[in-house]
């Protein structure tokens, strides 16, 4: 049985509809419980500020940990590791629609809260699975057209489908537009300076390999 095996490519170029604001809270203290408490306290302050800004979406935990910190100190001519305290680390995410002023208002609320934290902004799609299915469907159609063209060039016709194998999958479906900065309590004065962001379109692709009989 003669067959033809071709690779199809499905592409996407679409404006993002969702913004993701990620916050990284770190709080250090000599006491384990206090480091965790200060993280929780800062989290509640940020949640309250976002809620008071009229944002319906809520901050969600991505990860949380408390780790011990050590320092090498001299002791009778040698160095020894001494426990200095604990660092609580809480990473959170806030997903918002791109449309409207939600992103700008949320960033302003975070600044106005005055809590020291790291902040990053990324743009993506709300229904990634749907877009991936569209790319795979487009990849199959692309493979089918190529198979028909190659078979015709050889004086043959494309017959029954033999197999389909998924190839490279789309990445995380994020725009190349992002922002990364650190927010300090002193940044309260910068609330009115929050810029308007316009994200680049998301461009990605998925591939598959399909095999057909040729008659």
Residue 23 is predicted with a pLDDT of 94
Predicted confidence at residue 168, as pLDDT, reads 82
**Residues spanned by the domain of 77:** 3-214
- pTM attached to this predicted model: 0.83
3-state secondary structure of 114: coil
Distance of CA 78 to the CA centre of its chain: 46
Whether 16 shows a pLDDT value over 80: the answer reads yes
pLDDT greater than 90 at residue 57: yes
45-71 burial string, b = 16+ CB within 10 Å, else e? ebbebbeebebeeebeeeeeebeeeee
Task: In whole angstroms, give the CA distance from residue 184 to residue 164.
Answer: 53
With 90 as the cut, is the pLDDT of residue 134 above it? Answer: yes
193 — pLDDT class (breaks 50, 70, 90): low
* pLDDT average, residue stretch 50-61: 94
If you ran DSSP here, which 8-state letter would residue 1 be given?
-
The strand pair at 117-124 and 18-29 is best described as antiparallel
Model confidence at 204: pLDDT above 90: yes
Asked whether residue 190 carries a pLDDT value surpassing 70, the answer given is no
Q: Write the DSSP string, 27-94.
A: EEESSHHHHHHHHHHHHHHHHHHHHHTT--S--EEEEEEEEEEEEEEEETTEEEEEEEEEEEEEEEEE
Angle at 35 between CA 68 and CA 42, to 5 degrees: 140
What is the tens place of the pLDDT at every residue in 86-131? 999 999 999 999 998 899 889 889 988 888 898 899 999 999 999 9
Q: Which of 16-25, 31-40, 67-76 has the lowest mean pLDDT?
A: 67-76
- Rounded to 5 degrees, φ, ψ at 208 are -150, 160
pLDDT at 195 over 80: no
Q: What is the pLDDT of residues 62-96, one digit of tens each?
A: 999 999 999 988 877 788 889 999 999 999 999 99
**What is the total count of domains within the chain?**
1
- 114 in the Ramachandran plot: left (φ > 0), alpha (ψ -120 to 50) or beta? left
Query: What's the whole-number average pLDDT of the chain?
Result: 89
CATH of the domain at 139: 3.30.70.2970
């Amino acid at each position: 049985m003669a067959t033809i095996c071709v690779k199809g490519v499905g592409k996407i170029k679409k404006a993002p509809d969702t913004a993701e604001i990620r916050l990284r809270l770190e709080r250090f203290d000599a006491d384990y419980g206090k480091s965790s408490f200060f993280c929780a306290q800062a989290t509640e302050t940020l949640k309250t500020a976002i809620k008071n800004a009229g944002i319906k979406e809520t901050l969600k935990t991505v990860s949380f940990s408390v780790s011990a910190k050590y320092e090498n100190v001299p002791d009778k001519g040698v160095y020894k590791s001494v426990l200095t305290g604990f660092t609580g680390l809480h990473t959170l995410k806030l997903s918002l629609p791109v449309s409207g002023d939600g992103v700008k208002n949320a960033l302003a609320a975070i600044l106005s809260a005055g809590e020291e934290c790291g902040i990053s902004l990324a743009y993506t799609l709300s229904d990634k699975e749907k877009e991936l299915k569209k790319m795979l469907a487009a990849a199959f159609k692309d493979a089918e057209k190529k198979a028909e063209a190659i078979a015709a060039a050889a004086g043959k016709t494309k017959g029954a489908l033999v197999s389909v194998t998924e190839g490279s999958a789309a990445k995380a479906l994020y725009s190349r537009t992002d922002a990364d900065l650190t927010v300090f309590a002193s940044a309260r004065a910068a609330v009115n300076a929050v810029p308007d962001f316009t994200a680049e379109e998301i461009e990605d692709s998925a591939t598959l390999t399909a095999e057909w009989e040729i008659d």
